[in-house]
Chain A
């Protein structure tokens, strides 16, 4: 066929031209090459993916693999040398292995209810009482006369650990709380149940849920940054030793101006 033949003739020059362009482009770019692997906190994951994308746009010869798995998995993996960078969404404790911490961002944890719930503010003590099961009706905190459905995260989750440390203290989350295995699942569960209350990372808040003010302070980034909003935790990149080479380049990028701009865009709190 004539047309088919015509197309075939085009292939060689096109490929040749593309190759030339590719080589020139890679020649122009910086000399950073290599692969980085990261795994850990699902709170850090969406942010890490955005940062990796931006880093790759500047350094096309690099490859960054971002995985979830949770804070505990991130700590174990980086300590065993399975990944270059581990991600943690809570402060490291004495029982964790000694790792090099790189503060990436801070994250507020929002107490969320469905938008239909008239309650807009709770005190920290009320939050504790609700999650511990001592307050079980919305009318006890100024809402309608309806039961409270507590939604929490599963054991081991960085967000749950941070919530436990920053809010609950010694009190335990009640045993019959609904548990959902991710920030996204908690958001879905809360938005679909008019009586529900839950907690998620600031980065996951959208119009399907309402973030409550705590002690009268709205759950916003400025309030988290100036320290008035009480539930804020650090997000870390972890390395086994002081980073070198491409890993250092990536971490420097994330903690530098360009990286922090993305941190702010994604709804997290910058480290400055």
Chain B
């Protein structure tokens, strides 16, 4: 095969790859929607999304408690993970000596690869009893949020660190030359300049958090109720699908797919916000 041939046909190869991934995505979306639609129609869109009672055996399908649950654990997790993650990224990128970084960086990367069931298990045996000492059963939003913090930290850290490192050297040199100390440089120059990358890391972490099922099943208690406090048990959307799909049939099964549709839309909203935010961030950077 001549180099010429490869050169001429490479574009078709990548076109096939691109089409394949698009078809897969479209197939998943269409299938989920098709399976979920009967539930939306029979229950009613509004009653499905804003209903507060979930008792499939009595044909009651309201998923508001699960939407609240998903948002609560995700927000709780992100509130903890964002400052910790950015702090750690600054440490790795700016403060830590080379040898410490060489040790910490691979450790953070390994954290990404730990299966979520392991996070869930550690959460169930370590965090749940700790929270039980504070109050309630221990299976709670707080437990879910803490486990999610650990799960999204590595994503936030590694992407934030990369983007802090990617800030042009002249920014830092300029700040220091103007008499700013190291801390002022980090806080007022480096972090603002890297913010689009940091935001990307946060959004990616959030995507992982909101879609997490296994670990959430193990630590949140799976009770379908609108929680009153962080110590109350809750059920997430993804956890709700995973807990019941084994046993579901008929309308119940359709309703679980409909939860999938809601999750799909929720993640699409988050990603769109992220894309807009990143574009804004980049524009701001170009002006500097």
Contact = CB atoms under 8 A, between A and B. Distances in A.
- Do A and B pair up? The answer is yes
Given A192-B129, A195-B137, A68 B246 contact: yes
B56 interface: yes
A72 interface: yes
Give the size category of A's interface with B: 20 to 34
A189 B124 CA distance: 9
29 contacts: A72-B248, A73-B247, A73-B249, A75-B249, A154-B247, A155-B54, A155-B55, A155-B244, A156-B244, A156-B247, A156-B248, A158-B247, A175-B223, A175-B225, A176-B225, A176-B232, A177-B223, A178-B137, A178-B221, A178-B222, A179-B222, A179-B235, A180-B222, A188-B124, A192-B125, A192-B128, A192-B129, A195-B137, A196-B137
B217 interface: yes
Interface in A180-213: 180-181, 185, 188-189, 192-193, 195-196
Interface in B231-265: 232-233, 235, 242-244, 246-249, 252
A38 interface: no
Contacts, number: 77
Interface centre among A69, A157, A179, A180 (most CB of B within 10 A): A179
A76 interface: yes
Interface of B: 53-57, 124-125, 128-129, 132, 137-139, 217-218, 221-225, 232-233, 235, 242-244, 246-249, 252
A172 interface: yes
A107 interface: no
Nearest to A180: B222
A181 B248 contact: no
A-B pairs, top 6 by smallest CB distance, nearest first, are A156-B247, A179-B222, A70-B247, A178-B221, A149-B137, A70-B246
A71 interface: yes
Nearest to B246: A70
B249 A181 contact: no
Contacts of A192: 124-125, 128-129
Given A178-B233, A179-B223, A193-B137, A72 B132 contact: no
